[in-house]
């Protein structure tokens, strides 16, 4: 049994609906998937139903945009209750700021005489948690850029004229919110952050796992983080970080996490919730 524990849908900046994603997961021979949309868990109930229809096991999740000592980190929350009130409040705040950020990015682009409206970007995004990829797609649709990549390079990357800093939650607070919602916290794609020096502080705050397997980790990087996870007693997670049809072939299927790792996660999640019926049932 293989798992992909890092997937995005139209509930943030992915292009697949939960139903399309669950279908692709089954076609790729996966048996377990987690949904980890940016700063939201709203897609989880629909993804749970789609997975049931495809005969897949589903794990609730999210990917929170965090900050520690000036570094941006992404924390994956697994087995969270998507209806948990404190987590829901934090996510709604995230989403309000993301929508405001789209308006700010559009204002900055308008100042460069690029005709784009915030409404058109938000319509295209059609979700509560919009991001730069939606602005990039609107720039392509409007004929300003030929590709999403070009939009990032010219306008949206850090330091470019359309760039607006993103709201981030303190990483230690995020771990607390994830735990409060019955979940486990894992550091996403550590190989892309180059912030390994922060991991001991995250462990102090209760970090549970490390995303050793990721589509952008080469074999050497994966080995390095498997070693660190063993050394620090962290659980191992992994996923493709598939965003659907963004560029080239979709990433789903490129990372297949062995089922044993998921078993370890489930055991820990069950311990984290001693008075609950367990991590799997989704409270709808």
Q: Which residues bind ligand AMP (CB under 6 A)?
A: 13, 38, 131-133, 148-149, 152, 166, 243, 246
Q: Alpha carbon of 111 to those of 115, 158, 162, 224: distances in Å?
A: 9, 18, 10, 45
Q: Is 244 left (phi over 0), alpha (psi -120 to 50) or beta?
A: left
By CB under 5 A, tell whether 37 contacts Fe ion: no
Helix axes 85-110, 118-125, angle to 10 degrees: 140
Residue 44 binds which entry of Fe ion, Zn ion, ligand AMP, none, with Cβ cut-offs from 5 to 8 Å by kind? none
| Contacts of Fe ion in 74-93 (CB under 5 A) | 74
User: What residue 66 binds from Fe ion, ligand AMP, Zn ion, none (CB within 5 to 8 A, per partner kind)?
Assistant: none
CB of 12 to Fe ion, least distance (A): 8
Q: Is 241 a binder of Fe ion (CB under 5 A)? A: yes
Rounded least distance, CB 240 to ligand AMP, Å: 12
Beta-sheet pairing, 169-170 with 209-214: unpaired
Minimum CB separation from Fe ion for residue 148, in Å?
Answer: 16
Residue 74's binding partner among ligand AMP, Fe ion, Zn ion, none (Cβ under 5 to 8 angstroms by kind) is Fe ion
Q: Nearest to Fe ion by Cβ — which residue?
A: 74
Does residue 171 contact residue 67 with C-beta atoms inside 8 Å?
yes
Q: How far is CA 47 from CA 51, 56, 106, 206, in A?
A: 6, 10, 31, 28
* Residue numbers at the binding site for Fe ion (CB under 5 A): 63, 74, 188, 241
């Amino acid at each position: 049994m293989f798992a992909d524990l890092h997937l995005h849908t139209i509930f943030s900046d992915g292009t697949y609906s939960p139903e399309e994603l669950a279908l692709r997961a089954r076609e790729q021979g996966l048996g377990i998937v987690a949904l980890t949309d940016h700063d939201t868990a709203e897609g989880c109930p629909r993804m749970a139903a789609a997975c049931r229809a495809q005969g897949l096991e589903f794990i609730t999740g999210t990917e929170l945009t965090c900050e520690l000592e000036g570094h941006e980190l992404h924390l994956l929350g697994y087995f969270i209750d998507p209806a948990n009130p404190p987590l829901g409040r934090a996510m709604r705040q995230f989403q309000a700021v993301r929508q405001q950020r789209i308006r700010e990015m559009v204002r900055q682009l308008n100042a460069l005489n690029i005709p784009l409206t915030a409404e058109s970007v938000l319509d295209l995004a059609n979700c509560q948690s919009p991001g730069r990829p939606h602005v990039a797609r609107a720039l392509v649709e409007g004929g300003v850029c030929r590709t999403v990549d070009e939009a990032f390079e010219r306008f949206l990357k850090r330091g470019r004229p359309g760039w607006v800093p993103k709201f981030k939650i303190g990483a230690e607070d995020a771990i607390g919110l994830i735990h409060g919602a019955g979940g486990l916290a894992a550091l996403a794609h550590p190989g892309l952050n180059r912030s390994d020096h922060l991991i001991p502080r995250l462990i102090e705050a209760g970090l549970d796992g490390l995303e050793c397997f990721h589509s952008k980790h080469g074999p050497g990087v994966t080995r390095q983080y498997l070693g660190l996870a063993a050394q620090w007693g962290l659980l191992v997670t992994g996923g493709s970080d598939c965003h659907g049809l963004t560029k080239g072939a979709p990433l789903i299927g490129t990372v297949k996490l062995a089922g044993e790792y998921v078993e370890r996660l489930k055991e820990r999640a069950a311990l984290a919730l001693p008075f609950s019926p367990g991590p799997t049932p989704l409270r709808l």
